Amino acid sequence: MEVEDIQMQIQSHLCQLGLKDMEGLAKTLGCSEGELKDKNWRKLVLLIEERLEEALKTKYLEEFKLS
């Protein structure tokens, strides 16, 4: 599966979430209350996408080091 396909699937799932669910997901991904303060739905989507991308890169790099 291509990276772009995965990104589209993630965006599709995020678009189905409400604001409270988005805030909960952002907290799960390590976002602080300060980062979430005054964020609208769209800004939360961008923040979550950014955090997911960081997490995937970190995991990929860790797996690469172990190889």
Q: 3-state secondary structure string, the chain? A: CCHHHHHHHHHHHHHCCCHHHHHHHHHHCCCCHHHHCCCCHHHHHHHHHHHHHHHHHHHHHHHHHHC
pLDDT in tens, 15-34: 899 999 999 999 999 999 99
Q: What does residue 45 show for φ and ψ, rounded to 5 degrees?
A: -60, -45
pLDDT score recorded for residue 53: 86
Rounded to two decimals, the pTM is 0.76
Q: Rounded distance, CA 61 to CA 34, Å?
A: 28
